[in-house]
Structure 1
Amino acid sequence: MSVSHRDIWFKLMLIVLVIMHPDLAVAHASEGGFVLLLPTDVYIFAGAASVALTVVFLAVLPDHALPLVFHAKPLWWIKRSRLHLFSSGLSFLFLMWLVHLGLTGPRDPLANPLPLTIWTLFWVAFVILQGVLGNAWYWVNPWSGPLAFTRKILKIEPLMRLPSSMGHCLSVFVFLLFVSILLADPAPADPARLARYVIWYWMTTFVAALVFGPRWMRRGEAFTVFLTLYARLGLFARRRGRLHFGFPGWQVFSGKKPAFWLAVFVLVMLGSGSFDGLNETFWWLDVIGINPLEYPGRSAVIVQNMSGLAVANVALISAYCAMIWLGLKLARTSMTLNDAFCHFAPTLLPIALAYHFAHYYTSFLVDAQYALAAATDPMATGADYLGLGTFYVTTGFFNSQDSVRLIWLTQAGSVVLGHILAVMLAHGLAVRHFGETRRAALSQAPLAMFMILYTFFGLWLLASPRGF
């Protein structure tokens, strides 16, 4: 059997990489190997069974129980101030400093603060923080301060009105564009490339907000819409001038029905997050005809991944609408499919956030250490601004079956809890709209089956072997 020169060079480079960075070779290989050794089928069944038992329990629960669970407690009064504009200005200056480091700093994405801040601290840690605590984005949004300053100095009024008929469809499109870059761009973590993306997006949003006014930030700016949706899951929120605290999801339970395109945005968040995990599995690589042991690189599967992203979102929205429609038929209610879709779509937010956490948890455990190292030496000159001394990134927690089991159970547990919370929210809203537990249970029966199957799917994603 002949061996090509390319294969020989590839194997030699792989050997050199393993010799130079043995921790990288051991980390992901051993983690995946240990996960395959775990009784994941038992865990998957137990997780889905937990969601199923929650559905049964809610069906016999008194009507007044869930409103008590999701009742928020007022804490103290909060006066409106312009302090968030000052913190926004600081956030903008910090972002520009990161862009500068992206263009002039280290070329290694694991040493440059820009990709570590964007992909690790913002896209993973901050998104989770937003979903757990509440609307922290209000304080660090890098546009509100510069926009307020520019409008005041130049006396600029909005030049055009964003048509109400467009709703949030622009933000859905921009979010899908972002996910496409995340999935298909050959080098999304390259510091200079990412710096150009960031400055281009900031400038485009800034100009659009000047032209269309504050409505653009609420409807057209994808990250503000994305993070505001996740803030609905948070424990804290300002209501009628007072800070309120409640059970996770209380804002979804007590909130108004979202507009149609905002409801679609929720489904796109879940569908895109799910495909972000699916496209790495051996199953997906087999579907698109790729040998996982000879992965050709991201640039070779751009069309396949973009097609998969579109199909995943269309399939999810279609399946969800079908379950909603079937539930309305079973409950014999006059509520329209459009109204039901908009009312119940936000109940999927806990599942989307849980998948987000589970999918990025292992990479965050490693990359957060690189972010700390970059913070103490942002220009990779040997400085030690944080006084950490000699800092070594460790991946040792991937090399023990016990620690990998704990990591996997943390991921699986978050997925199960997300589904349980989603089922609780959906049932509580159904009782509110349909008036009695029996009709609510009938309306939610198809959705409950959908949730259980999606729990299987989510846990299977965590346990499946990865191709890259």
Structure 2
Amino acid sequence: GEFLTAYFGFVAKIAPFWATYDAKRVTVMAGLPGAQVLRLPPLSASAIAFVTLLLASVSFDGLHETFWWLIRLGINPLEFPGRSAVYAQNSLALLLFWGLSAALILGAVRLGLPKGVRFAAVAGPLMLSFLPIAAGYHVAHYFIALLTGGQYAIAALNDPFESGAALLGLPDHWVSFGFLHVRSGVWAVWSFQFAVILTAHILAVLLSLKLTESIERAQTFRTHLPMTLLMVAYTVFGLWLLSAPTGA
């Protein structure tokens, strides 16, 4: 299917609730987040590429707005000229960032590859553990957009035809971004983002251990050490992106 179907199909496997269907009924199931991931077949090469793209795209979407990145492009972050001025540079950088992300992740898999085990036999299952990270980063990165843009959606529902109605009982000019200008509001947002990213990485580590439990116990440490170090570094990078000043 097209990329949105593939993306939401992967993300849905992390949900604690899901439905199973047969000819006569629909059954709602419940389990630990990520339980469905354990039932998925190993990812194919194209699916691995897609998952690395998910990780790279949301990370670069945060990076390209930072002061650090704009300065690299020779742009004053406080006088941002508009997205069209950096379209070509950012498009090329996104492709390079995708390649770098894939190289780091697959390189970590290769470094931890046990002797006598094929690369595909480990990479396919292990890449499934990155699904919670991809989903968690999307939630954390776009959380502020949800809090701000979501208010406009609620305001539209309150007065869908701009007739002065207040179907939800909300006053005019209800939308407010004031919570982003007070320390307590920013701290609450940051704490939520931190919790989401940390939870996603913990879930990813647990899934990776479960997905590779067929590997001999003596080789488990070697297999997971490079990937664990990479996940720690990626966590630090993600938290830096969320806290870095932005100008785009």
Distance in 2 (CA, whole Å) between partners of 1:396 and 1:386 is: 21
Match of 1:319 among 101, 104, 123: 104
Aligned partners of 1:350 and 1:419 also within 8 Å = yes
Alignment partner, residue 370 of structure 1: 152
* Alignment CA distance shift 1:389-1:288 (3 Å): closer
Pair 1:459-2:244 in alignment: no
Query: What letter is aligned with 2:127?
Result: A
Alignment partner, residue 69 of structure 1: none
Match of 1:441 among 221, 232, 239: 221
State the Cα deviation string for residues 78-116 of structure 1 (Å, max 9, x = none). xxxxxxxxxxxxxxxxxxxxxxxxxxxxxxxxxxxxxxx
Aligned partners of 2:14 and 2:132 also within 8 Å = yes
Alignment partner, residue 131 of structure 2: 349
Distance in 2 (CA, whole Å) between partners of 1:273 and 1:456 is: 15
Alignment partner, residue 427 of structure 1: 209
State the Cα deviation string for residues 381-410 of structure 1 (Å, max 9, x = none). 434344434351122222321221121111
Distance in 1 (CA, whole Å) between partners of 2:46 and 2:10 is: 12
1:290 offset after TM fit, Å?
Answer: 1.2
Match of 2:91 among 298, 306, 316: 306
Aligned partners of 1:375 and 1:386 also within 8 Å = yes
Which deviates more from structure 2 when the two are superposed, residues 347-356 or residues 385-394? 385-394
1:343 offset after TM fit, Å?
Answer: 1.4
Name stretches of at least 5 consecutive residues in structure 2 with no aligned partner.
none
Alignment partner, residue 401 of structure 1: 183
| Rg larger in structure | 1
Match of 2:16 among 214, 235, 248: 235
Distance in 2 (CA, whole Å) between partners of 1:293 and 1:364 is: 24
Secondary structure at the residue paired with 2:230?
A: helix
Distance in 1 (CA, whole Å) between partners of 2:128 and 2:180 is: 35
Alignment partner, residue 338 of structure 1: 120
Secondary structure at the residue paired with 1:434?
A: coil
1:244 offset after TM fit, Å?
Answer: 2.4
1:254 offset after TM fit, Å?
Answer: 2.5
Alignment partner, residue 282 of structure 1: 67
Secondary structure at the residue paired with 1:244?
A: strand
State the Cα deviation string for residues 263-288 of structure 1 (Å, max 9, x = none). 22111111101111011011111222
1:311 offset after TM fit, Å?
Answer: 0.8
Pair 1:253-2:38 in alignment: yes
1:379 offset after TM fit, Å?
Answer: 3.8
Where in structure 2 are the equivalents of 1:189-268 lying within 5 Å?
219=1, 221-239=2-20, 241=22, 242-268=27-53
Distance in 2 (CA, whole Å) between partners of 1:386 and 1:402 is: 27
Secondary structure at the residue paired with 2:53?
A: helix
* Alignment CA distance shift 1:466-1:327 (3 Å): same
Query: What letter is aligned with 1:227?
Result: F
Aligned partners of 2:122 and 2:212 also within 8 Å = no
Name stretches of at least 5 consecutive residues in structure 1 with no aligned partner.
1-218
* Alignment CA distance shift 1:390-1:293 (3 Å): closer
State the Cα deviation string for residues 206-228 of structure 1 (Å, max 9, x = none). xxxxxxxxxxxxx3x21111100
Alignment partner, residue 417 of structure 1: 199
Query: What letter is aligned with 2:89?
Result: Q
Q: How large is the Cα RMSD of the aligned pairs?
A: 1.7
Aligned identity (percent) is 36
Distance in 1 (CA, whole Å) between partners of 2:211 and 2:20 is: 20
Distance in 2 (CA, whole Å) between partners of 1:377 and 1:312 is: 43
Distance in 1 (CA, whole Å) between partners of 2:70 and 2:171 is: 43
Where in structure 2 are the equivalents of 1:132-171 lying within 5 Å?
none
1:309 offset after TM fit, Å?
Answer: 0.9
Secondary structure at the residue paired with 1:309?
A: helix
Alignment partner, residue 361 of structure 1: 143
Pair 1:296-2:81 in alignment: yes
TM normalised by structure 2 equals 0.92
Judging by fraction of residues, say which structure has more helix. 1
Distance in 2 (CA, whole Å) between partners of 1:310 and 1:338 is: 24
